[in-house]
A and B are shown apart, each in its own frame.
Chain A
């Protein structure tokens, strides 16, 4: 597969445009939908970069996040006009400063694209199919070499879901209001 750097740059530019619209749009619906556009372009980028597993997961996660956000914003139909000027200017100033530092020192830190910086993956690849006979190296890393990471991920998801259930439950909240009155 011939993959051009400019193709990646064009897709990324499209994604950045989606992000800009998502942040600056006045209508909340259009901003949420633009965020979904950026996420789906991101999944195409993952597919082109040799990561089909992540592309599938990204599509799934993006659609679920879109449904969640759209179901919140149906409560408020007013346009969003609010922004605070000072913080925005401050952020842009920090951005310019960091970009300047990146241009001065970045050439030493970041290797050019396509020359991997991390060499740990080679070790995993060399041992994964011999030890596990798992054809997909990502699966063997997630489930075997870094099984505790996956356990931690499951814990985080469990805690988040428990938090959502506690926040949105109907029982017990009436007692709270009675206590206030």
Chain B
């Protein structure tokens, strides 16, 4: 249970960064941290005690593999999610670069004030 509480803590640290911070870089970092927490939760939900990675080697019988291997489905989905997170960070970074070129700051309050 303590692991789930720690993941919830990380999720809300990221959420706090997204909501309360006014620097665009901090908002991107907070979004990334929310992504970390949710990915870790999914992998943790598929974990078995004394589990092995879901890779079938030659010296392993299939019954042993079925009994011991951890759940591969959350891993496959998290793999997709991590790569999409990277694409999203790159897109937000491009938006931040454009905003900085136009307004000369990362502070969203000043960006709002300079809007003409």
Instruction: Give A140-180 interface residues, CB cut-off 8 Å to B.
Output: 141-142, 146, 149-150, 153, 156-157, 160-161, 163-164, 167-168
Q: Residue on B with the closest CB to A18?
A: B33
Decide: A160 near B88, CB < 8 A? Known: A82-B21, A120-B73.
yes
Instruction: Give B74-116 interface residues, CB cut-off 8 Å to A.
Output: 74-80, 82-91, 93-98, 100, 105-107, 109
Provide the residues of chain A in CB contact with B4, threshold 8 Å.
Answer: 102, 106, 110, 113
In the complex the two chains form, is B20's CB within 8 Å of A9's CB? no
Instruction: Give, as a whole number of angstroms, the nearest-CB distance from A140 to chain B.
Output: 8
In the complex the two chains form, is A16's CB within 8 Å of B9's CB? yes
Instruction: Give B1-43 interface residues, CB cut-off 8 Å to A.
Output: 1-10, 12-17, 19-23, 25-26, 28-30, 32-33, 36, 39-40, 43
A88 to B16, CA, bound (A): 6
State the total of A-B contacts with C-beta under 8 angstroms.
Answer: 268
Provide the residues of chain B in CB contact with A57, threshold 8 Å.
Answer: 79, 82-83
Q: Does A181 contact B (CB under 8 A)?
A: no
A94 to B19, CA, bound (A): 12
Q: Identify the A interface with B (CB < 8 A).
A: 1-3, 5, 8-9, 12-13, 15-16, 19-20, 22-23, 28, 31-32, 35, 38-39, 42, 45-46, 49-54, 57-58, 61, 64-65, 68-69, 72-73, 75-76, 80, 82-85, 87-88, 90-92, 94-95, 98-99, 102, 106-107, 110, 112-118, 120-122, 124-126, 128-129, 135-138, 141-142, 146, 149-150, 153, 156-157, 160-161, 163-164, 167-168
